[in-house]
A and B are shown apart, each in its own frame.
Chain A
Amino acid sequence: MKKIEAIIKPHKLDEVKEALNALGVAGMTVSDVRGYGRQKGHTEIYRGAEYTVDFVPKVKVEIVVDDMLAVAAEEAIVAAARTEKIGDGKVFIYDCESAVRIRTGERGPEAL
């Protein structure tokens, strides 16, 4: 199994979700996160005083898939999340040792 962690632009979440659904990825976990890479932050102005906000809002999508699906899932995320502008985000892929479905106790790919 592989765990795929994608940091994407918030407005791209729906497209990423649909692309993964189309591949048969059964579930995902999503969080609102803030961070920066090459994009850096933005400037806000309150009563003439400028504030530099370093951390830009992003969405983190986490999925775990069977090894066979990993490459396709990665490609689907990249294709769906890409705008070709700075700040599109990144995808990280890890080996996932084990998984358990809490309700039934199933283990491994059956638990996904």
Chain B
Amino acid sequence: MAPIDTGDTAFVLLSASLVLFMTPGLALFYGGMVRAKNVLSTIMQSVFAAGVITVVWVLAGYTLAFGSATGPLGGFIGGLEHLGFSGILGQVTGTIPTGAFAIYQCMFAVITPALITGAFAERMKFRAWALLSVLWVLVVYAPVAHWVWGGGWMAAMGVKDFAGGIVVHATSGAAALVAAIMLGRRLGHGTSEIAPHNLTMTLLGAGILWFGWFGFNAGSALAANEQAVSAFIATHVAAAAGMLAWLAAERYHSGRATTLGAATGAVAGLATVTPASGFVTPLSALLIGTVAGVVCYGAVLLKNRFGYDDSLDVVGVHGVGGVLGSLMIALLAAKSVGGVSGLIEGNTSLVIPQLVGVTVAVAYSLTATWAILKVIDLTVGLRVDEDIEISGLDLAEHAEVGYSL
């Protein structure tokens, strides 16, 4: 057994805490963008994921993602030897105890389904979300995590995803697209004002996301080493560039630089650099963030043209960002940073794996999410009744209101 490095272990445990903190950050980010009557139900969807997905992860999710990759099904799903986190204590992964790795990965499993909630904000039944979150982690997240990170078939063909461009952002973005289309548009969407009720909350949430993202990306090195430092720098640089690029694009397009644009641009930069963060130089991260700000802004505008109601732009920001960043690895990977070269260093061998990885993950998430939502629709139903949607979900679904002034 390899020796445990205490510095690495401390770093990964702290990174796990940072990633957990992203989930309430996301709750505030989304909560500020909905109307006041739905603020609690929106926040609850993310907060609930921290509870239910943790339990699901310990019981079964972890072993489906990171159980043994041997046997006929080993390329597609992990073995069942770690059900209930059994057989983890006393083991070592790299230079850290396997338990540290398992709980670090738990935080990723929590936030990934929470990202999807922005797509169906203000109209999904809480019961439907409870079912969707559990089924989605077991059926979509855990297998894809196994393919890429658990020694599955994508890992075998050389797909690179440092911190979750494919596993987290592309899968959740694809699920968001399906969910937005299947649930349909909010009542009054396109005809009456449906504007954010508290952007100060959204900006605070974006700040917490940015802060937590250092654990997400730098922590993915699973060691306090040079690659973690590279990922930390790339994360910060891309967030900053994403913000500036988004603001420039909207200033040019709509005449104003908005606070929501600043927050969204930073998150777009963060999501896009995630898969590449351990593989690229600071200047490449600057490029990734800049491209992310402009492309994601365009993707969000496109939504209005297509007419579907991805309420809080999960597809435009996370889906598009995750895909974009995963593909940009093939172009910008630097051997000195992550040990692999991209096209700029003359290596073409990443292009096919990245294209295949992204395409299959997106296609799988689209299909499987559709099937899960279909089952939920036929059993408990997806959408709240019209009168509840009009009066607000907080009171009807949770018997509370966000503000009594």
Point out residues on A near B: beta carbons under 8 Å: 44-53
Contact = CB atoms under 8 A, between A and B. Distances in A.
Nearest to B192: A51
Contacts of A44: 195
Contacts of B313: 47
A47 B193 contact: no
B196 interface: yes
Contacts of B297: 47-48
B261 A47 contact: yes
Contacts of B300: 47-48
A46 B260 contact: yes
A50 B250 CA distance: 12
B254 A51 contact: no
A36 to B, nearest CB: 13
Interface of B: 193, 195-196, 250, 253-256, 258, 260-261, 264, 297, 300-301, 304, 313
A48 B300 CA distance: 8
10 contacts: A46-B196, A46-B260, A47-B297, A47-B301, A48-B253, A48-B297, A48-B301, A49-B301, A49-B304, A52-B193
A83 B254 CA distance: 30
| Interface class of chain B by DSSP | helix
A48 B250 contact: yes
B63 to A, nearest CB: 40
Contact of B256 (A45, A52, A53): A45
Contacts of B250: 45, 47-48
Nearest to A50: B254
Nearest to B196: A46
Contacts of A53: 193, 195
A52 B190 CA distance: 11
Contacts of A47: 250, 258, 260-261, 264, 297, 300-301, 313
Contacts of B264: 47
Q: What 6 A-B pairs come out closest when comparing CB atoms?
A: A48-B301, A47-B300, A45-B254, A51-B193, A51-B195, A49-B304
A46 B195 CA distance: 8
A47 B298 CA distance: 10
A73 B255 CA distance: 44
A46 B284 CA distance: 29
Given A49-B301, A51-B193, 9 more contacts: A44-B195, A45-B255, A45-B258, A46-B195, A47-B300, A47-B313, A51-B195, A52-B193, A53-B195
Nearest to A44: B195
Most B C-beta atoms less than 10 A away, residue of A46, A47, A49, A51: A47
Nearest to B264: A47
A108 to B, nearest CB: 36
A30 B297 CA distance: 43
B58 to A, nearest CB: 37
A48 B299 CA distance: 11
Contacts of B301: 47-49
